[in-house]
Chain A
Amino acid sequence: MKPAPFTRHVPRTVDEVVSALAEFAPLDGRILAGGQSLVPIMAFRMARPAHLIDINEVEGLDRLAVDGDYLSIGARVRHGAFHKPVIDGPLGKLLAFVVSHIAHYPIRMRGTFCGSLAHADPASEWCLVAATLDASLVVKSVRGERIVPVTDFLEGIMSTSLAEDEFLAEARLPLLPDDTKFGFYEFSRRAGDFAMSAALVTYRLVDGVIADAHVGIGGAEDRARRILEAEDVLNGNAPSPDLFVAAGEAAANAIEPLEDIQTTAEYRCDLVRAVTRRALERSLL
């Protein structure tokens, strides 16, 4: 249970990070951010990178601030930064509610928001947040910078559109209007375990009916994503127990469920049905 040998590089600037990536990524080099997923995988010897580019000393990547109409989250911002609302309004509250579902407290003090996105575990809470809120991801390499919508970033289980020489430098979450309602519900067997299914919903009430509904589902498919079929059920209708049941039904019917030894497709769909309804119920608390 000890990592295999590797060479550690400690860049101090983003320019040094991308230079190191360009040089060492082809030689089996990887970014090390919080290390809360990578280091265990290395301890199990399921990953044996030859080079680790440790970004924990890079200046500027710890930036967490509002830029215009979005919240900018740098690559070194740790989960624990969100324990208390980072901004006034619904987005800060939403992030503070979701963060307590991520692994355990000491993991959250070290793991990073962007690292979770780059790792792209289907059960990742931050991937679900990014997908539901239509995040943009700022990706950098020696070739320059590109801004990638989350739908083009998450490609599947532990799989993103990051090229070998690119790293995720920043995530941008759109601010939510002050009257946004949100609800999050996650099902797992034990506190801190990987979600077996999770739902995040946001919407606004305009003249008593739901508008601009976002329904995100994580942990059920190969990646977190918005479920438009469930959003269509909600938009234009007044919140009610029957409506929430119908939205859950629509979500369960829309997904391509992951199956594993503990979770049949039928069970996963039932979980999606339940977490969607419960997230919607929480939005009214």
Chain B
Amino acid sequence: MTSARPVHFTVNGAAATVTVEPRTTLADALRNELRLTGTHLGCEHGVCGACTVIVDGAAVRGCLVLAAQAEGREITTVEGLGSAAHLSALQLAFRKHHALQCGFCTAGILTTAHALLTEEPHADEDRIREVISGNLCRCTGYLPIIAAIMEARIAYRDVQCEAAQ
């Protein structure tokens, strides 16, 4: 039989250890072991996008990555993007444009958009629409989400300029 083993990784800049079975998904480990419940689980088979988290800079489905595969990796969840007191530029744009209603899908959309804009701060609307097509939202009709991500791009360009300098 299988048994739980410790897995060490970094979450939102802090070291973390979870002791989980091989079959435990990263999303379940984040929620159940570390109580990082900002990451939501919808379909649990990679379709809805709610559980999307960032692993070593890449947006991935938290339900389709095993927690054990996160050994040594750097994980960013929605909790790592900003705080209630200090929302990120992307989160501020979501608030301004009313880009969420119930909020269930929002964490996955924020992490996906954050990873995209970090990599491609000049992504055009077609690219943003194509990328966000992997996140289901049943409230907003998507238009305010697209508007918010479009507006947030400028903040990621500034970050790139600073890094270049």
Chain A residues in contact with chain B, CB under 8 A? 1-8, 35-36, 39-40, 42-44, 52, 54, 56, 80, 100, 103-107, 109-110, 190-192
Interface pair A107/B134, CB less than 8 Å apart: yes
Beta-carbon contacts under 8 Å, B27-43 to A: 28, 43
Interface pair B44/A1, CB less than 8 Å apart: yes
Interface pair B130/A100, CB less than 8 Å apart: yes
Interface pair B130/A7, CB less than 8 Å apart: no
Chain B interfacial residues counted at CB < 8 A? 31
Complex Cα gap A104–B69 (Å): 21
Complex Cα gap A109–B68 (Å): 18
Interface pair A104/B58, CB less than 8 Å apart: no
Interface pair B133/A8, CB less than 8 Å apart: no
Closest to B51 in A: A106
Q: Closest approach, in angstroms, between the C-beta of A258 and any C-beta of chain B?
A: 22
Closest to B130 in A: A100
Interface pair B133/A36, CB less than 8 Å apart: no
Interface pair A5/B49, CB less than 8 Å apart: no
Interface pair A39/B46, CB less than 8 Å apart: yes
Interface pair B134/A6, CB less than 8 Å apart: no
- B76 part of interface (Cβ distance < 8 Å): no
Interface pair A107/B2, CB less than 8 Å apart: no
- Chain B contacts of A35 at CB under 8 A? 64-66
Please tell me which stretch of B18-26, B92-100, B147-155 contacts chain A, meaning at least 4 of its Cβ atoms lie within 8 angstroms of it. Answer: B18-26
Query: Chain B 99-140, CB within 8 Å of chain A: the 1/0 string?
Result: 000000000000010011000000000000011011100000
Given contacts A104-B49, A104-B134, contact A3 B23 (CB under 8 A): yes
Interface pair A105/B22, CB less than 8 Å apart: no
- Chain B contacts of A4 at CB under 8 A? 23
Interface pair B134/A103, CB less than 8 Å apart: yes
User: Which of B45, B64, B130 has a CB less than 8 Å from the CB of A105?
Assistant: B130
- B85 part of interface (Cβ distance < 8 Å): no
| Dominant secondary structure of chain A at its interface with chain B | loop
Interface pair B64/A39, CB less than 8 Å apart: yes
- B59 part of interface (Cβ distance < 8 Å): yes
Q: Closest approach, in angstroms, between the C-beta of B98 and any C-beta of chain A?
A: 23
Given contacts A39-B64, A56-B69, contact A5 B133 (CB under 8 A): no
Closest to A43 in B: B45
- Chain A contacts of B134 at CB under 8 A? 103-107, 192
Closest to A54 in B: B69
- B77 part of interface (Cβ distance < 8 Å): no
Complex Cα gap A44–B61 (Å): 16
Closest to A56 in B: B69
Interface pair B116/A105, CB less than 8 Å apart: yes
Complex Cα gap A283–B24 (Å): 46
Complex Cα gap A110–B64 (Å): 9
Closest to A4 in B: B23
- Other A-B pairs, 11, CB within 8 Å; known A43-B45, A105-B131: A1-B45, A2-B23, A4-B23, A6-B2, A43-B44, A54-B68, A104-B131, A104-B135, A105-B116, A106-B112, A110-B64
Complex Cα gap A4–B60 (Å): 22
**Could you say which of A54, A106, A190 has the most chain B C-beta atoms within 10 Å of its C-beta?**
A106
- B1 part of interface (Cβ distance < 8 Å): yes
User: Can you list 20 A-B pairs with a CB-CB distance of less than 8 A?
Assistant: A1-B44, A2-B23, A2-B44, A5-B1, A8-B22, A35-B65, A39-B63, A42-B23, A54-B66, A104-B49, A104-B133, A104-B134, A105-B112, A105-B131, A105-B134, A106-B49, A106-B52, A107-B61, A107-B134, A110-B60
Q: Closest approach, in angstroms, between the C-beta of A164 and any C-beta of chain B?
A: 22
Complex Cα gap A152–B134 (Å): 34
Complex Cα gap A110–B133 (Å): 17
**Could you say which of B22, B58, B64, B133 has the most chain A C-beta atoms within 10 Å of its C-beta?**
B64
Closest to B62 in A: A106
User: Which of B69, B115, B130 has a CB less than 8 Å from the CB of A191?
Assistant: B130
